[in-house]
Amino acid sequence: MVRVLVVKRLHGLSDEQTEFQLLDRRSFRRFCGLEHSRNIPDRTTIWNFENRIGVDGVNALFAELDRQIRARGLEARAGQIVDATLVPAPKQHFTREEKAILDQDAMPADWKPAKRRQKDVDARWTKKHGKSHHGYKFTVSVDRKHKFIRTWVPDTACVHDSQHLEAALDEWNTSAEIYADKGYVGAEREERLREQGYRPQIQRKAKQGKSLSACQERRNRRIAKVRSRVEHVFAAIAQWGGKRIRTIGQARATFAMGMMVLVYNMRRLAFLGA
């Protein structure tokens, strides 16, 4: 069944589409080990299996894949790159009164159980580059050498990227260097990282009314050449199944984001031929 979830994530399919494609495509059935089986999982079976393994299950799968990656000699080397990416979720529409109640972590009394199941009260709005986005985000640590995702931290879209920098760090990387963009600038944060033995390579941000020096500009360009590798990771995830999710609630969104990370590492491992 795990292979069914991989097919679903890799092609950005819904449960219904996954069931149809398993019935229609022999290559899908062969990959899932169902080529000679008469019992093809239906949409309900796929849904129930996802709910059964949940976030703990996808974390266990990620940990096992990471163990296999390291066992093949692909250790995290040459430093790590930390960044976050937004994951769009279906937009929710609430009245002003409903929003006030939800902001207090309560549920409107007139919502029936059927309506509650269709409302995602966990996803949040945020603004990036002047545009509004609704959904979730996850932060990753990518090793510079092999470009695998070594750790990941899920959250809602409204949480600032810098809040998960330290939680996302991979302690097993052979280099102490950490690369990040201007969103992670912070003197106290960088001092804590140095005390822990890291060498933060974080791009500098110009202060209001004051431009960066030529030395700082050169430093930013040098870091950007390395940091751009994490953008390749996000682009690959967007290409292989997309980043948009169709789920409702934090738990299922976290599961979907975990599958994105898992499938990316699987594809990366296959690409490297290890």
pLDDT along the chain (274 residues), means of 10: 94 93 92 88 94 94 95 94 94 85 83 84 88 94 96 94 93 94 91 94 88 91 94 93 88 95 95 81
Yes or no: is domain 72-272 CATH 3.30.420?
yes
Report the pLDDT value the prediction gives residue 274, as an integer from 0 to 100. 60
107 CB contacts (<8 Å, ≥6 apart)?
101, 116, 121
Cα dist from 134 to 87, 146, 197, 242, whole Å: 8, 32, 37, 16
Q: Report how far residue 266's alpha carbon sits from residue 61's, in angstroms, rounded to the nearest whole number.
A: 11
Q: How many other C-beta atoms are found inside a 10 Å radius of the C-beta of residue 183?
A: 15
Report the pLDDT value the prediction gives residue 200, as an integer from 0 to 100. 94
